[in-house]
Amino acid sequence: MSFEKFGIVNYTKESKAIDFVAYLEQGKVMATRCKTCETIYFPPQVDCPKCLLSNMEWFEVKGNGKLLTYSTVKYGPLGFEDKAPYTLAVGEFEEGIKIFAILSQDIEEDEIEVGMLIKVVAAKLPDDRFFFEFEPGA
């Protein structure tokens, strides 16, 4: 398995964090935590940039988060041009994890507001590729 199955357009064929895509295939959005310094990373890291060790553990990002900011893209870049308009957003989840992702197209533009509850979910594209997005929280 490799990073070839991640996202809409991806030029990275291999990564030390390939388990991230395997978890997405299982329907899980995962982050990593350094067992030494307890720093949390999303996107996941397998080597801690803070303490320079490879003592990491995976954990699932669960529960509701809060929408911090968003922007609707009217003209998408390469690979996204037929997806526009779409909304990019930043959400904050437990333990201070901040995630940058696309808002689900099931959320109408007039329903989007800073502070709303969201959850991050694994999603599949028609060409057997995987990504993650925000859906409304409960």
Question: In total, how many domains does the chain have?
Answer: 1
Q: Is the pLDDT of residue 127 over 90?
A: no
Confidence (pLDDT) at 11: 52
Q: Is the pLDDT of residue 12 over 60?
A: no
- Give the mean pLDDT of the chain: 89
Domain span at residue 61? 3-136
**Residue 103 burial by Cβ neighbours in a 10 Å radius (0-12, 13-18, 19+):** buried
33 and 24 in contact (C-beta within 8 Å)?
no
pLDDT band, residue 123 (cuts 50/70/90): very high
- What is the model's pTM? 0.84
Confidence (pLDDT) at 9: 58
